[in-house]
Structure 1
C-alpha cells in the first residue's frame, strides 16, 4: 500500500496567498500518482504536456484524440504512446534532444527531465494535474501510412510521477474530441511577433494551456473562458484574467519565482495550433484593473517566441457547450474600455436612491441624490459607474452553481444618465462653484444588478458608491442630425433633449424601434419632452398595441409603423451625422445600412 505524504506550499505559492489574503490551508497535492489520476489517464482523450527546452524555456503542447494513449505502468510510472508532429512540436523536440540519432531512445541524465501534464476530458469537465520527470522517450517514423505527413511521428514516453492533483470543472468548455491525421502539418510562422493567423486564433480562443516551473517543480494547467477572453496588447504581448478558482495559485506561485511561461492555443476546428514561450507579469488589484478593467487579478505575457503550425494537432473537436461559470469578455483599457479610469478612483461619493418610477414591466427610472458638497457633476448623455458590491458581494466560494457568474463579478455597472443637468449647474460646475445634487438612470431589468435595483424603492435606504462619470454622445443643437435607437437606447438622447430645438423647423430626426410591451417608455418620453413625438418615426414590434395608444402617439405628431425597421426607412433620409444606440445585433445591421455616412455609435456592451 502506498501513502502520500503532506506537501507544503513553496515560497512563491505562499507569497501569492499573502498577496491575495488567502486564509491558511493545506496543500491538497499528492506526492504520488493517486488512483484518481491513474484512472483519468486511461479515460482522458487529451493530455496537455509541458517541459523545458535547452534554453530552460517552458513550452506546452496538446496530444491525444481518443482515450487510452496514456496509461499507468505501476510504481508511479506512466507510459504514453501517441502520434505527434515530431518536426514542429517544441515539446517533442525538447523531450528527444538527448537522443544521438533519429529513432534512438532519449534518456536524460541527472534523474530525468522535468515535465508536467494535465489529463483532461472536456466533455465530462474532468482534469488531473501531474508532475514529475521524464525517464525515457523515443520518436519514430510512422510505418505503412501513406497519408502521413513527413512531420507525423509516433512518440513513446515514460514519466515518473511525483505529484498529482484533481482540479475543478470551472471554465472548462465542452468539446467532443476525435482523432485526425497530421497530414497537413506545416510551420507557417516563427518569431517574436504574432502573425494575423496567430492573432485571429487568440481572438477566437475559449481556452489555452500553460506551463510554469521552478528549479525543482513544474506545473501544467488550463485556462478557459468565453471566446476572446485573452486580449492582445500588441503584436508581442497579451493579457488574460485570472478568474476565481481554488486559490492554490500553483501556476502563479511558480511565476513569482520564475516568470518564464509556455502557452499553447489549440484550434479544435481546423487543427491549427499556436505555441508561445515568454515571460509573465502578475498584476493584482488596481494594477490589474488599470490594464484589464473589471479584473482583480491578471497575467500579462511578453512573447519571446511564437510558432504557428497549420494542422499541427492530431485530433479535431466540436464545441458542445460553454461553462456556466464563464464571465463576460473584459476588453483591455487600450481597446477603449469605458471602465479604464475607474481602477484608480478613490472617490467616496455615495448616492442615495430617492425615487423609483416604473415605466414598463421591465423598465424603471431611478432617481438618486447626493450631498451638495459631494463634488459630483456630469454633462448630458454621460454614463455613471455605480458600485453595488457592498449589497451583492457575498464573498469567496470555490463553487456556486446556483449563481455561477457572481464568482467573478465586481458588481460595478455603468448606466447612461437619462437626466439633464441644469444649464446653470453645467456652467458653474467646471468652476467648482456649484454641483449637481441629483441624477436619473432609466434601465431595463436584465441581470443581477438591475434585478436587484428593480426590487428597491425609495424607502429601501439604498446607498451606492459612485465610482466615476464619463463618456457621452453629444448631439450638436440646431444641426441636421438623425438618431436610430432601440428600446432603452433612447437614454443618451433623453439627457440632452432640453438642449435640442424640437419645433417644426428642427432638423433632428429620431427612428425608434420599440417592443410593444415597452410603449410605457414612449408615452413617458413624449409627455416629458413635448416636441419629441413630432420628430419621431416609431417602429413597434410584438403583440398589437391598443389603437388608442397609437392614435395618442400620432396625435402628438409621431409616425407609427407596426413592423421592424428596414434599410429603406433611412436610405432617403438626409442627415449630416447619424447617432446609433442599440444592441450589438441591430447596431451591426444599421451601421451596414449607413455605409459611407458619418456614424457615431453608443452601445450597451459595457
Structure 2
C-alpha cells in the first residue's frame, strides 16, 4: 500500500502489525466527506504542524477561532480564517493538521500543502482520516474568554515552571515530518505520562493505537519533532522543538525520548477555557 513510507513500514514490521496496518490504512483517503466537513465547522481549535523552511525546525502551533473559522471549501481543500502570519512563510510547504473535539472525543487529521490567502490560508489535502477516541480526555464544554496573549518567552532548557506544566499535562500534540509530508498527532494519558528526565530531555510511553505508526515512522525516517502542550483552562501554550527517537523494550513496549533544542512559552495564548477533564478509561496508570 502506498499510504506508508519506508519509515512507517520499518516500525510496523518491528511491532509485527503490518497486516493490521494495511487494513487500517484503507481508511486514509484524499477527500473530505460531508460528515467530516460538518465536524470541522464545529471546531474552535486547529493544530498545525510543519517544518520551518528557514531553520528546518519542526513545530506545532494552535489556532483558535469561532466555529466556522476552519471549513471545507472543496472535496480536497480546507480554508482557515486566521490572523496568524505564518501562512506566507509556509507557502507551498507540507503541513499536518488535526482538529480534536474533547466534547465528543473525536478527531480528524488532514495532511497536505499550505497556500496563504488574504484571510489566512488553505490546505490542499493529500491524506484525510479520523482516529478512534482512545486516550482523548473528555471535556464537556468550552467558553471563549477575552484574553490578551502574554509576551512569548524563548528557552533553551526547561525550568521548574515548564517541568510542572508538563507533569500536569494529560494531552499534547506531536509534529513530525518525512521527505514529502508533515503530520500532527495527538498523545494523551493521565497526568504524569510525560516525564521530564532533565532540563533538555523528556520521555513518554507510546501506547498501542491504530498500528499505522505514522508519527513513529516519520521519526524513524527523520528525527526532527515538535511538541505542543496547552493549558485547557488558562490558554497558556508551551511549544518545544528538537529531535526524538523511539526506544524498543524487550517486552515490546515503546518509549519516545525527546531532546530539546528550543522552547517557547506563551501565557494566555488561546482565548478558550475548557471544563475539567474526564480521563479516558483507556489510559494506563503512568506510575506502573
Greater relative CO, 1 or 2 (CA 8 Å, sep 6+): 2
TM-score over 0.5 for the alignment? yes
Q: What pairs up with 1:390-409 in 2 under 5 angstroms?
A: none
Equivalent residue, structure 1, for 2:16: 21
Q: What pairs up with 1:230-309 in 2 under 5 angstroms?
A: 230-286=194-250, 296-309=253-266
Deviation at 1:113, TM superposition (A): 1.4
CA RMSD for the aligned pairs? 1.9
2:5 to 1, 6, 10: 10
Q: TM-score, normalised by structure 2?
A: 0.91
User: Is residue 53 of structure 2 the alignment partner of residue 96 of structure 1?
Assistant: no
SS in 1 for 2:165: helix
SS in 2 for 1:13: helix
User: Is residue 271 of structure 2 the alignment partner of residue 314 of structure 1?
Assistant: yes
User: Is residue 63 of structure 2 the alignment partner of residue 63 of structure 1?
Assistant: yes
Deviation at 1:63, TM superposition (A): 1.9
Equivalent residue, structure 2, for 1:117: 97
1:137–1:158 CA contact under 8 A, matched in 2: yes
Q: What pairs up with 1:204-223 in 2 under 5 angstroms?
A: 204-223=168-187
Equivalent residue, structure 2, for 1:50: 49
Number of equivalences:
282
Structure 1 or 2: more strand by fraction: 2
1:78–1:158 CA contact under 8 A, matched in 2: yes
Question: CA 1:299–1:137 in structure 2 vs 1: closer, same or farther (change >3 Å)?
Answer: farther
**1:231-284 residue CA offsets vs partner (Å, 9 max, x unmatched):** 000001000011111111011111100010011000112211100011001011
User: Is residue 150 of structure 2 the alignment partner of residue 185 of structure 1?
Assistant: yes
Task: Give the 4+ runs in structure 1 shifted more than 6 A.
Answer: none
Q: Tell me, which stretches of 5 or more residues in structure 2 are unaligned?
A: none
Q: Tell me, which stretches of 5 or more residues in structure 1 are unaligned?
A: 1-5, 87-91, 99-107, 139-154, 290-294, 331-605
Please tell me whether Structure 1 or Structure 2 has the larger radius of gyration of its CA atoms.
Answer: 1
1:285–1:297 CA contact under 8 A, matched in 2: yes
1:34–1:164 CA contact under 8 A, matched in 2: no
**1:204-248 residue CA offsets vs partner (Å, 9 max, x unmatched):** 100001111112111111000001110000001000011111111
Deviation at 1:307, TM superposition (A): 0.7
Q: Distance in 2 between matches of 1:57 and 1:178?
A: 33
Equivalent residue, structure 2, for 1:130: 110
Deviation at 1:36, TM superposition (A): 3.8
Deviation at 1:329, TM superposition (A): 1.4
1:33–1:163 CA contact under 8 A, matched in 2: no
Q: What pairs up with 1:70-469 in 2 under 5 angstroms?
A: 70-82=70-82, 86=84, 92-93=85-86, 95-97=87-89, 108=91, 112-138=92-118, 156-175=120-139, 176-187=141-152, 189-286=153-250, 296-330=253-287
Deviation at 1:9, TM superposition (A): 1.6
Q: Distance in 2 between matches of 1:250 and 1:232?
A: 24
Q: Distance in 1 between matches of 2:18 and 2:114?
A: 35
Deviation at 1:200, TM superposition (A): 1.5
2:31–2:75 CA contact under 8 A, matched in 1: no
2:225–2:242 CA contact under 8 A, matched in 1: yes
Deviation at 1:180, TM superposition (A): 2.6
